[in-house]
Amino acid sequence: MLDDEHMSTYKWEEAVSNNWDNDIQEDESGRIVNVKLQSLARGQVHRRQINESVRRGLIRYMVFVLDCSASAAEKDYRPNRIMAMKSASERFILHFFDQNPISQLCLSQIQDGVARKLTDMSGNPKVHLERLRKVRVTKGVSSLQNAMKLAISALRHVPSYGHRELLIVYASMSTTDPGSIEDTIKDVIESKIRVSIVCLNAEIYVCSRIAKETGGSFAVAVDSKHLGDILREWTIPTPQLREQCSLQTDFVYMGFPRRVVDATPSYVFDGKVPSLSCTAYVCPRCHTRAAEIPTQCSTCTLQLNSSSHIARSFHHIFPVPQYEEVAQNESGELYEPTESLVEGKVLTTVPGDRNPNPANEAAELSKIGAKQTSMHICASCSELVDSEPGALFKCGRCFNVFCMECDKFVHESLHNCPGCV
């Protein structure tokens, strides 16, 4: 049980760490910069890999399991593991539906050796988040076999074009199963479910083996922030396995419902629960009213979407190409940084820049007293970009230069290059 005793050590009760002394520094031009944040952001940009021409399962059906056994009450994560898991999961669910609007998710938990569903498979993040916030109790032992059995039964009726996934956030160091886990691993592989596991304390052999054999991925989180980063990576649809790929393409039935607004409220289906509302989306096949889209029609099971949802899923197949990191020499020319920065290949400054006229650039720079040779202007936010390494990125298609923040924003949220558009 989560009680006051488990909540007694908070972050603010720890020794004071003086971030101002260590992380905040003044650069040559006198600006105050957060060195730690900058290096973290740079690391993220470098780690991100975008693979083009990869077949991905865009319509995902995921069973998301939280381990709520007694080990989830441990306090190595602040304030404890279950709270860290909940806040990371909340961000994961929001981001998952933002990146995969035509996918569905089912929230589940392992507690007292039993795996049980908390929400039904649905494409509405609100339902999952409301239920997730009510998760409080940690009790008993954990069972990986029961979690996999639950996933098999929950994903049994998923159509053949759907991508079946099981994602487990595992807090325990062991698994207490009712039978042989080997048989269940075989069943999972047969059901074409990919199992991904993130452990909170150490690498557990059986977890990494399950992930490897089912084509999923395995990771160990070191702290709450790392846990959030790992979960965030799973919001991007994984490339399809060669064995699961067929050259034949299935046609997927989808309905584009009409939105109606009535003067008087009428019954609509919010998932499978009827409620009263003035606005509704009408299923084009059976005229059942749904409260929100994307969803599955509660009567004829037709997938109801809007064209913008399809378009938002589309960017995973045709991602924005990775920007190349560039540096500039003393005369302001751009070059690709190599082992020795001075001998890098010199690139020409590009006419497609938003500020192509060197005279304009110089005038603008002189206004703030910056040296013309050490600054470039980002083609997205029009801010001046530092000349320091890792701050400047160039699009290989439109040759525009972008700052680090815009590079991150373009690849993670916008999914369109402002220069190419």
- Binding residues (CB under 5 A) for Zn ion: these are 283, 285-286, 288, 297, 299-300, 302, 378, 380-381, 395, 397-398, 403, 406, 417, 419-420
Q: How far is the CB of 211 from Zn ion (least distance, A)?
A: 36
Q: Which is nearer to Zn ion, 118 or 375 (CB)?
A: 375
Rounded to the nearest 10°, the torsion over CA 99, 101, 103, 109 is 70
Kindly tell me which of 189 and 300 has the beta carbon lying closer to Zn ion: 300
CB of 10 to Zn ion, least distance (A): 37
CA distance 152 to 143: 15
Given the complex with Zn ion, which of 66 and 304 has the nearer CB atom? Answer: 304
Between 114 and 420, whose beta carbon lies closer to Zn ion? 420
Give phi and psi for 94, each to the nearest 5: -60, -45
Task: State the minimum distance, in angstroms, from the CB of residue 334 to Zn ion.
Answer: 15
Taking the least distance from each CB to Zn ion, the nearer of 150 and 378 is: 378
Whose Cβ is closer to Zn ion: residue 50's or residue 245's? 50
**CB of 120 or CB of 405, closer to Zn ion:** 405
Do the beta carbons of residue 278 and residue 254 sit within 8 Å?
A: no
The nearest distance, CB 94 to Zn ion, in angstroms, is: 25
**Nearest distance in Å: CB 299, Zn ion:** 5
Q: What are phi and psi of 78, to 5 degrees?
A: -95, 140
**What is the torsional sign of CA 79, 85, 86, 91?**
positive
For the chain, the maximum distance between any two Cα atoms, rounded to a whole number of angstroms, is: 76
- On whether the CB atoms of residues 280 and 258 are closer than 8 A, the answer is no
What is the rounded distance in angstroms from the CA atom of residue 175 to the CA atom of residue 114?
A: 11
Token pair belonging to 245: 């790929």
150 CB-near residues (< 8 Å, 6+ apart): 63, 65, 108, 115, 116, 117
Distance from C-alpha of 165 to C-alpha of 48, rounded to nearest angstrom: 22
What distance in Å separates the CA atoms of residue 64 and residue 147, rounded to the nearest whole number?
Answer: 10
Nearer to Zn ion, 66 or 283 (CB): 283
CB of 77 to Zn ion, least distance (A): 34
Q: How far apart are the first and last CA of the chain?
A: 54
Closer of 204 and 375 to Zn ion (Cβ): 375
Nearest residue to 155 via CA among 186, 123, 121: 121
Token pair in block for residue 254:
């989808």
CB of 198 to Zn ion, least distance (A): 32
Smallest gap from residue 102 Cβ to Zn ion (A): 16
Whole-number minimum distance, CB 318 to Zn ion, in Å? 13
Distances (CA, A) of 49 to 1, 45, 164, 409, 416: 41, 9, 23, 15, 16
Beta carbon of residue 71, minimum distance to Zn ion (angstroms, whole number): 44
Output 381 or 414, the one with its CB closest to Zn ion: 381
Distance CA 238, CA 216 (A): 9
Q: How far is CA 260 from CA 278, 295, 308, 309, in A?
A: 8, 16, 18, 19
